[in-house]
Structures are given as C-alpha cells and as structure tokens.
Chain A
Amino acid sequence: MNKNAFSSRRGAFPAGLRVLVVDDDLTWLRILEMMLKKCSYEVTTCCLAREALNLLRERKDGYDIVISDVNMPDMDGFKLLEHVGLEMDLPVIMMSVDGETGRVMKGVQHGACDYLLKPIRMKELRNIWQHVIRKRMREAREFGSLKGFEGFQLMRNGEDQYDEGNLFAIEDMTSTKKRKNPDSKRDNKEFGDQSSTKKSRVVWSVDLHQNFVKAVNELGFDKVGPKKILDLMNVPWLTRDNVASHLQKYRLYLSRLQKAGDQDSSSSGIQQSDLVSEDPAASFSFQNPINRQQQNDVSIDSHKYSSDGTLQLQNVDAEISHEGNNLKAIISEATIDKRTELPASIQDTKTRESAQKINDQSFATPDSEASHAAVFKCTNPWRDFPEMQLKKHQPYLSMKDRFSHLPLPGTEHLIQVGDQSQADASIRSDPSVMERETASCIETKPLYAADHTSDYASSVTSIGSAGGFSMQSYAADYTSDYASSVTSIGSARGFSMQSKSFMGNDESLEPVSTSNFGRKTEGLNLNSVSDLESHQRDLLLGGEFPSSAAPLEEDLKSFWLQGERCMNSGLQNIEMPEYYYDPGLAGEVPIHLFDTAENSAVDQGLFIAYDL
C-alpha cells in the first residue's frame, strides 16, 4: 500500500496537511504561512483568488484545505468559496477582520467550514485538519451507506494495507470526535448505536425516495416545497422537516450531477480544470461557465447548456440555496429539465458529460424515480479503470433510462442502491473515477476528502466522474459543531459524498442527493449536527453493516489511509478499488473515487436521502 506514500509525509497526521492560503494582505499571508508551517502543514500561499483557483484546478488533488480571506480585490471571498466548493469540494475556511454575524452567516451559508477572525492565533490553525477529516468521514459515510456493506468491506479490507501510522489519523479523529462531542451520541462507540440518537431517523428507502421524487415531479421542480411534497407523498409518519431536508439533499444531488456533467469532458482523466476548459459544447455548462468563463460568476442562472443533453439552468429558488448559492437550485432544475434528452448520447463517450447531465437530470426527474430503484448497470469502473476512463462513463442517473441508453462498456454490474441506483452506478461504473484513479492516483483518497475530490473530480468529470463519490469529502461533517453551522450545506456535503467532488465547495453544491446506498443507512440527519454525526455513523455503519464501533473505526482508518495515500501518490489508491464496491461489481471502486467531483457521475447516481 502506500506505505511509501504515507511515510513520505512528514510525521504523523495531521502533519503534511496541504493548505492553500489565499489573502490579498501580504502581511497576513506571511503570518499564516509561518503559523501553518509551524503546525507542520504544507503551505501554499496566494494573494489572488483567481490564482488560487488556477492552482486548485491544476492540481485537483493537490490540496486538502483552503483558507481564504473574505475581502479580496479580484474576487469576493465568498465567490471563491463557492467555486472551490463546487469544483473541488474542499473544505474552505474563511477569514476576516470583521466578525459581524451577518458576514459569518454568509460564509457559513456559502459553505465555509469555518470562519476565523483576524487576528488569528496559531492554535486556531492547528485544528483545521479536523475539517478535512470530517469531510472525509462524511463522504465515507455516504459512500458506505450507499454501498452498504460492501463499502465498508472495502474499507475494512483496505485497512490492512494501511500503515499503522495512518491509523493514527482515524483514531485521532475519533478521539477528537469524542473530545469535541460530549454528546455521547456522537461518540465513536455509539456509532452503531442508533438508539442513542435523540431523533428517530428517517430512512429514505428506495420506495420512499421514489415516492418523494414522484411528488416532486408532480409538483414541478420549481414549485416544490416540503409541505406540498409531504402532502402528496401521503406518508403519515413523515414530517415536513424530514422532507425539507431530503429535498435539500436532493437538490444538491441534482446540482452535483449537473456539475459533474459539466465537468465531464470527453477527455479522460483530466483534471477538472482541464476538463472544463476542454469541455466541448456538450458538456454541461454548469461547470464550464464557472471554471472558464467567469470565475466570479457563480450564479448559474444565465447558464444554459447548449449542446445536446445540456441542461438549461434555470434559476431555481431552491430551498437549499443559500444566498448566492444559486447553483444548487439551478442545477437541480437543470437536471430535471433535461433528463430525457441525450439518450443517444449516452452511449457516446464524448458526450459523457451530457450523459452525465442527463443522468443527473434523470435522476431528478421522474426517470430517476424509476431508476431509483437501485439497480444500475454500471460498468465497474474500478475494475476496468484504465480502459474505462472516459468510455465507461455511464450516466448513473435514471437507472432505467440510462441503462437503456448507456452502453456499458465494461462489466456491468448491477448495483442495488436505494434511490441512488443511479448514483451508485455512476460511482461504480464511473469511468471517470477510474480515470481519476489512474490519473490522479486516487488522490481523492477519500479520507482526505476535500482536496482530493477536486482533483478527482476533474479527472472524473469527463468520465462522468461518478467516482467522485467523495468518500473524501466525507470527513467534513463529522463534528457536530461544524455540522450545525453548516446545516443544510454541510449536511449536503456530507451527503453528497459523491457530489462533493463536484460541488467543489462543500457548501455550495452539496450534492443533494446522497445516494441511498442500498443500505438505507439510517438516514442522515442533515438538519442537525448531532444528526449529522449520527448520520455519519449510520452511513459508515450502514444499516447493513455490522454495526459496531470497531468496523467503523476501521473503515475510517481505511478511509483515512486512502486519503493519505491518495494524497501522496497517485497510484496508491489503486489498491482501493478492490474493496470498494460490491463484489458484483467486480470492480473495486476505490473509495476515493467517490469523493471527488469526478464522482459527479456517482453523485448522479447516488442520492442519499438521509433524514432524521
């Protein structure tokens, strides 16, 4: 395994954490650089937001976390935050000398995983690694839940390969978790203990989710509201809040899919940025515009995808969209709109992206409903990764629809996934993921989430990066405190394991859909931090997983390790694939595949609705 990779890191985790600092204030840039170096982190500084985005795009998996000032001359810090969240799905910490609640709120809403006030003390920086872990864990959870038991198996198997040193990370994380979460519910030991949760969780089963999607489609995506959906669904025990949070995730998921679609370019295994730039018309423009056209223009409103299968983004007043975060809404809409087109293109590798988009769409749309049924045919990206890249990209969405259209180049695996079938498919068959793997040595390394996802995403995108499943991004929401602040955003993040990568920014487009990994993990409760934790727990353990703290930890470890490995070297994760998915898949979908945006494909397929 990547012992080498791991050992190449200085010291034990979190040493070597790769931080990108963006601040136009040279004084602070230097101060932060010094402080971070003292924490044994690997620091890259940048005084321009655009430059930062370029750096991030060039090296998708090159960073684990981004710290950015809010006020910058060339680009608003919040915009940067959104971009990063969307494209790279890295945790982003905002900083400012202004601690005004409104601004902090804005940061949180835009997806910041933390908001620091200047003057910043070194001790505040010492702990930033927790955001990375949290994100990863969340992703891992999503991943795990999606895949259910297999995912965990994967993780567990992967563990063996990890250096002992890597275990440190997980343990550290868990111990931190304990420390930070007095709530016993969150305690690692309680991972498997559902009963400890205060709220009863809603497990969004395939049926339930289909019911939900049906209701959404009946209402018209742009007219949906939790109450209306709830009424239509006619599920007595379901609450409005359950639906609201599920809707949010769904939207994120859709937008993630869309993003993924955009990102996917015919090129294989290309870095996200590459993909974006090379993306032909067909690609979803969602990504493109952001990446290429106007960095500042996060709003997708005006964005319309042109080529076949492109989605028309409409401004959706999504519930989940927080200020400035129209992407989500838009994406959701877009995805929904276009679902149907693209049948033919799906087969076309070139239009993978579009397919992806479509997938997304289908996912969102009724098709997806049908497809939610969890069977996706997807080629096992991991297995055939090298060849699959690009070609295999199978749109995961609307399993049913998709399958008919999609040529499954590689082995096809039927994956049962709750609603997510698509997502799963994407994840699994996500050639992009495969690409990613090869391309980026799995950097995604789910554990380390964030950063990796971005790299990952890029490579995956073309393929339909379902792979991005972003186990990586998982980590983020682990801590409750954090989760609470992020709430929907955060949770979306967590859920969007896959989408994380797409979304780039954790916050921004949290993949709404969290794939309902067949396992029906005990719904993740996006709404509350604690829920989040439990979600994570649930995710990780999955309903089907043998729940016990141990496996979880092991899984976490494996996640971590993976992440680590990913970080260090590209090929390290190759090993991971084996574990990943369900044996039927024959693929070993590396976990890391999930986390990056690349996994958008996966994202598409996956929509996990965990709702507490």
Chain B
Amino acid sequence: MKKAELQQEAASIRRSLFDQGYLDEQFEELEGLRDDSNPNFEEEIVNLFYNDSARMINNLERALTRSPMQFDKLDDYMHQFKGSCSGIGAKRVKLECSRFHECCAARDAEGCIRTFQQVKHEYTTLKRQLQTYFQVAKQADA
C-alpha cells in the first residue's frame, strides 16, 4: 500500500475508534504529549496499560471466584482498573467498569460476574482495534 493510503487508513481507524466511543479525548491528550524522544507516546502508554491491566484483570477474576464474594475488594480492584483505563481514554471499558461498580454496591454477585464479562469483552475489543491501528500507523510512517 502506498504511504498516503496507509496514512489514510490509519486516520480512518483512529476516527472510528473515537466515533464508536472506544476512545475519548484522553487519547488525544496522550498524542499531544509526543515529542522527539517519545514520538509514539500514546502507544507507549497503551502498552503500559496492557501490562498493568493484565494484572488487575487477573485479580478481579480470582476475586470473583471467591465465595462469598467480597464486594468491597472487588470494587477496589475495579476502581484501580478503571483509573488505569481513564489514562488511555478507554471510554467503553470505563463504562462497563461503572456498571460493575454498581453491581458491587448493590451486592449483586451475578451482576458482578456478568458485568465483568462485559468489561473483559470491551477491553479485548479495544486492544485488538488499537493493535490494528498502531500497526497501520507504523506502516504509514515507515
């Protein structure tokens, strides 16, 4: 593909990520922090996020298997995870996190399990989309 086309495609993917609510302006903030020594700052942050969040998701999964469910602890874990999501602008994931939080507050065990699945789903979707985006963008810049 030609560079121009690649660039266009990258831009288009990016645009749709925003349009579909996967990302919010925080992601733009990250892009704005690029500089010469960190030309792909947003990508660097996204990768950091994956590392961090993998651990948090594990914690959540483990905690969800506990019986009885420790809602406060779950809420704490999710709060942490949500904080991280806010760092990259993972809008949809954050939304699901809030739903999970509501279930914790309501002491709804089933709700927690269900909403957690949604959180994971959004998370994996976003991850996949960002990977594609970064790949194309990198090719476009190459």
Contacts and interface: CB of A to CB of B under 8 A. Distances in A.
Interface stretch (A118-126, A284-292, A569-577): A118-126
B93 to A, nearest CB: 12
B61 interface: no
B84 interface: yes
Given A71-B80, A71-B83, A27 B88 contact: yes
A69 B84 CA distance: 12
Contacts of B7: none
B49 A27 contact: yes
Interface string B24-53: 001001101101001001001100110110
Given A31-B33, A34-B38, A118 B83 contact: yes
B45 A27 contact: yes
Classify chain B: how many residues form its interface, as a range.
Answer: 20 to 34
B86 interface: yes
A122 B48 contact: no
Contacts of B44: 30
A472 interface: no
Nearest to A72: B80
B79 interface: yes
Interface string B48-91: 11011000000000000000000000001001101110111100
A122 B80 contact: no
Contact of B33 (A25, A38, A69, A98): A38
Nearest to B87: A27
Contacts of A26: 48, 51-52
Contact of A35 (B33, B52, B82, B88): B33
A180 to B, nearest CB: 24
Contacts of B83: 25, 28, 69, 71, 96-97, 118
A27 B80 contact: no
A241 B35 CA distance: 53
- Residue picked from A24, A118, A122, most chain B C-beta under 10 Å: A118
Contacts of B38: 34
A27 B90 CA distance: 13
B79 A122 contact: no
A30 B82 contact: no
Contacts, number: 55
Contacts of B80: 24-25, 71
A121 to B, nearest CB: 6
Interface in B79-110: 79-80, 82-84, 86-89
B82 A97 contact: yes
A32 to B, nearest CB: 9
B32 A119 contact: no
Contact of B79 (A28, A38, A97): A97
A4 B37 CA distance: 29
Contacts of B29: 119, 121-122
- Residue picked from A27, A34, A38, A96, most chain B C-beta under 10 Å: A27
A185 B25 CA distance: 38
Contacts of B76: 71
Nearest to B34: A34
A53 to B, nearest CB: 21
Contact of B48 (A30, A35, A71, A119): A30
Nearest to A98: B79
A38 B34 CA distance: 10
B33 A27 contact: no
Interface in A5-27: 24-27
Interface string A544-576: 000000000000000000000000000000000
Contacts of A30: 44-45, 48
A121 B29 CA distance: 7
B139 to A, nearest CB: 25
A26 to B, nearest CB: 5
Contacts of A121: 29
Contact of A119 (B41, B49, B87): B87
A25 B41 contact: no
Contacts of B33: 31, 34-35, 38, 122
Contacts of A118: 83, 86-87
A118 B29 CA distance: 12
Contact of B45 (A24, A31, A38): A31
Nearest to A24: B80
- Residue picked from B26, B82, B86, most chain A C-beta under 10 Å: B86
Nearest to B48: A27
Interface string A75-117: 0000000000000000000001110000000000000000000
Nearest to B32: A122
A34 to B, nearest CB: 5
B105 to A, nearest CB: 12
Interface string A292-326: 00000000000000000000000000000000000
A19 B32 CA distance: 21
Contacts of A27: 45, 48-49, 52, 84, 87-88
A23 to B, nearest CB: 9
A27 B41 CA distance: 11
B30 A71 contact: no
A118 B89 CA distance: 10
A118 B76 CA distance: 16
A119 B26 contact: yes
A28 B87 CA distance: 6
B49 to A, nearest CB: 5
A71 B73 CA distance: 12
Contacts of B32: 122
Contacts of B30: 31
A31 B52 CA distance: 14
Contacts of A34: 33, 38, 41
A97 B98 CA distance: 11
Interface in A454-472: none
B52 to A, nearest CB: 5
Nearest to A95: B83
Nearest to A30: B48
Interface of B: 26, 29-30, 32-33, 35, 38, 41, 44-45, 48-49, 51-52, 76, 79-80, 82-84, 86-89
22 contacts: A24-B80, A25-B52, A27-B84, A27-B87, A27-B88, A28-B83, A28-B87, A30-B48, A31-B33, A38-B35, A69-B83, A96-B83, A97-B83, A98-B79, A118-B83, A118-B86, A119-B26, A119-B29, A119-B86, A121-B29, A122-B29, A122-B33
Those 10 A-B pairs whose CB atoms lie nearest each other, nearest first: A97-B83, A27-B87, A119-B26, A119-B86, A118-B86, A27-B49, A27-B48, A34-B33, A28-B87, A27-B84
Interface of A: 24-28, 30-31, 34-35, 38, 69, 71, 96-98, 118-119, 121-122
Given A27-B87, A28-B87, A118-B83, 5 more contacts: A24-B80, A31-B45, A71-B83, A97-B79, A119-B87
